[in-house]
Amino acid sequence: MKSNIFLIICTMLLIACQQKTAEQSINYNQLSEEEKLSAEHALASMEIQEGLEVQLFASEPMMSNPTNMDVDSRGRVWMIEGQNYRNQHNPDNPYRNEGDRILI
């Protein structure tokens, strides 16, 4: 549920009045599970109303495990990364010695 809300918020922030991109014409159901998780195909699962475009402006490795997001009065997107959150339950996740971070 939390990731769905995050996806909805990201989608609302990224929508602009443009033409459809080639990425949106990809059949998401024909992609492998690995392809579905890639930044290259991140937008293929979204259904966009005609006349609108969604643009991906950030993805891994620029950030990972975003937990919160906000947009300030200057239009900057602030992301909080929970890189080290619950690593004891996900030992395969990378650990950042510097800790979690806030990205603008």
Determine the Cα–Cα distance for residues 80 and 66; give it in Å rounded to an integer.
6
Residue 64 has pLDDT above 60, yes or no: yes
Max mean pLDDT range (26-30, 54-58, 72-76): 72-76
pLDDT at 102: 93
Predicted confidence band of residue 7 (pLDDT cuts 50, 70, 90): low
Determine the Cα–Cα distance for residues 9 and 39; give it in Å rounded to an integer.
17
Give me the residue label for tokens 């929508």.
Answer: 15
Average pLDDT, the chain: 76
To the nearest whole percent, how much of the chain has pLDDT over 70?
76
How many Cβ atoms are within 10 Å of 54's Cβ, its own excluded?
A: 20
Predicted confidence band of residue 25 (pLDDT cuts 50, 70, 90): low
